[in-house]
Amino acid sequence: MTRLSVNINKIATLRNARGGNIPNVLEAAINCQRFGAQGITVHPRPDERHIRYSDVYDIKPIITTEYNIEGYPSEKFIELVLDIVPNQVTLVPDPPDALTSNAGWDTIKHRDFLKKVISRFQAKGIRTSIFVETDIERIKNAKETGTDRVELYTEPYAANFSTNREKAIEPFIKAAEAANNVELGLNAGHDLNLDNLKYFYQNISGLLEVSIGHALISDALYYGLENTIQMYLRELKN
């Protein structure tokens, strides 16, 4: 079974644009869970331009589904995660000023750094995942960091899906095989949507979780949040 984790950053972006507490991020997290989401993902950034550090704390006691915190492992971020103890932490290599995550880790160059960070999380019983591209050697070397899972950065797949879906999915099939071969759990995320999700799901072996935010929240403007989550869940069924 592939789990759907809903990234609620965009709800926080909308709230922050006007100030106040509308839309209510905590209520959104509760509703995503109530409507069938099997996980809630947040990505706090240093400037708190969407999810705030206070949101990350406030969400923990109000949900019973899986809680995934993703971000760049600065010392402040590490301390946040160790304090909250979510089910999963996803490490991304993006700098503080990045608009969105746009690359995976070089697990060869940053192996020792990642190994130290991951060991701190695992000492608290937190499952770890690291953001990677489809480079086979980097996926194999991810095993050396001690991580539990890798999350495939799927923007290249999404960008090329409409022109040649077979070619777009090919490197991800190989990447998934590499992860499975070294016994790494497999997540995926970035620009997955109602058009391309089912094909990805049907072709990627061992896919444990997808994290979807921008597209899902955007679709909810048209279809409603409950209906949208159910639509995405249907894409993850055989």
Q: Is the peptide bond before 23 cis (omega within 30 degrees of 0)?
A: yes
Query: Residue 158's domain spans which residues?
Result: 3-235
Active site residues: 43, 70, 190
Which CATH number does the domain housing residue 176 bear? 3.20.20.70
Q: Name the CA radius of gyration of the chain, rounded.
A: 17
What pLDDT, on a 0 to 100 scale, did the predictor assign at position 34?
Answer: 98
Q: What is the pLDDT of residues 201-238, one digit of tens each?
A: 999 999 999 999 999 999 999 999 999 999 999 999 97
Exposure on the CB side of residue 137, measured as CA atoms within 13 A: 3
> What is the per-residue burial (b if ≥16 Cβ within 10 Å, else e) of 132-149?
bbbbeebbbbbbebbbbb
pLDDT at 238: 73
Q: Which pLDDT score is estimated for 96?
A: 61
Number of domains into which the chain is organized: 1
Looking at the DSSP bridge assignments, the partners of residue 90 are 70, 129
* Positions of the chain with pLDDT lower than 50, given as ranges: none
pLDDT at 195: 98
**Model confidence over 17-32: pLDDT tens digits?**
998 999 999 999 999 9
Q: Which pLDDT score, from 0 to 100, does residue 101 have?
A: 57
CA dihedral angle for residue 145, residue 9, residue 161, residue 88, rounded to 10 degrees = 30
3-state secondary structure the chain: CCEEEEECHHHHHHHHHHCCCCCCHHHHHHHHHHCCCCEEEECCCCCCCCCCHHHHHHHHHHCCCEEEEEECCCHHHHHHHHHHCCCEEEECCCCCCCCCCCCCCCCCCCHHHHHHHHHHHHCCCCEEEEEECCCHHHHHHHHHHCCCEEEEECHHHHHHCCCCHHHHHHHHHHHHHHHHHCCCEEEEECCCCCCCHHHHHHHCCCEEEEEECHHHHHHHHHHCHHHHHHHHHHHCCC
